[in-house]
Amino acid sequence: MIIDKPTIGVGQAIPDATIHIKSDGSIDAIETKDYFKDCKVIMIALPGAFTRTCSAKHLPGYIKNAEKIRVAGFDKIACLAVNDAHVMQAWGLEQEADGIVDMLADPLANFSDELGISVHMGPFLGRRAMRCAMVIENGILKQIFMEEPLSFLVSSAEHVLASL
């Protein structure tokens, strides 16, 4: 795996980038400065939609714990992956995340690059986001739970909730 730049640090502003969300048949381009403004968000990033750990554990944990997350004071739960908006919407519908988790598409890894969480995972997977969870308040990173490669320990919904 090759990581291109240092990962964003606690206390830093979320970088400016364009993400995409598909809803009602259209794809909306959203600026991160607007998406994260004036709210408290838990954002997970993961290697890809429809992948094994992401589909079986990571995203489902946040869907299952959504009410606990909202009670803890969060306005949004977001899931970021280096996939296009069509794939992210389809995966969100399959996972029953619609209306619970915002499925953020980062098709060219621009946002992942700016966050310093993009990684090249070889010829079959290509460029992806590393698995992590971030607590973001008013556009500022407050906590980050970065996984070691091939791990799923610290970015789970249960671990993040216990660490708040």
Domain count, the chain: 1
Query: Can you tell me which residue has the tokens 């700016």?
Result: 114
Contacts (Cβ under 8 Å, ≥6 apart) of 18: 29, 30, 31, 32, 110, 111
Predicted confidence at residue 150, as pLDDT, reads: 81
d(CA 84, CA 106): 7
Residue range of the domain that includes 104: 2-163
- Which residues are the active-site residues? 54
d(CA 93, CA 28): 17
d(CA 1, CA 13): 26
Instruction: Give the CATH number for residue 45.
Output: 3.40.30.10
Question: pLDDT of 20-63, one tens digit each?
Answer: 999 888 999 999 999 999 999 999 999 999 988 999 999 999 99
CA 143 to chain centre: 14
Counting as low any pLDDT under 50, the low residues of the chain are: 1-2
Supply the pTM of this predicted model.
0.94
Predicted confidence at residue 5, as pLDDT, reads: 61
d(CA 87, CA 2): 25
